[in-house]
Amino acid sequence: MTRRKSEEIPLDFESSIAELEKIVSDLETESLTLENMISSFERGNSLLKSCEQTLKSARQRLEKISSPEDSLEKALAFDSNMHNDTPTAVPPTEHDDSISLF
């Protein structure tokens, strides 16, 4: 069975979302026949799955892109913290006769 052109999933995410929003709006008006409601629901479900897959793929791509930078940032932060932990001289108190450099 071939799909009609109107039943094909749009190629881009934004078009899918726009169509999904229209389907939701149409279903909320409750002016559709039962058969049209079921068809609209099925179409919406297909669009939703497509959008979820697109988002999952985008999330994976972003994680892959950001991972090396995160590692570099963590390494730089670790290195920076190591340099900030150097001991400093503690001045003697009034009652302390000993001299301490650390």
The answer, yes or no, to whether residue 100 has pLDDT greater than 60, is no
Is residue 93, in this structure, part of any structural domain at all? no
61 or 89: whose pLDDT is higher? 61
Looking at residue 24, what is its pLDDT? 94
68, two tokens? 């090396």
Q: Please, are residues 15 and 54 in contact by the beta-carbon 8 Å criterion? A: no
Domain of 13, in residue numbers = 9-84
Categorize the per-residue pLDDT at 53 as very low, low, confident or very high, splitting at 50, 70 and 90: very high
The answer, yes or no, to whether residue 97 has pLDDT greater than 80, is no
How many domains is the chain partitioned into structurally? 1
CATH number of the CATH domain containing 71 = 1.10.287.1040
Is residue 14, in this structure, part of any structural domain at all? yes
For the whole prediction, is pTM greater than 0.85? no
Nearest-5° Cα angle at 59, 54 to 78: 175
Is residue 97, in this structure, part of any structural domain at all? no
67 or 69: whose pLDDT is higher? 67
Looking at residue 3, what is its pLDDT? 47
Q: The dihedral of CA 28, 31, 34, 38: what is its sign?
A: negative
Contacts of 36 (CB under 8 A, 6+ apart): none
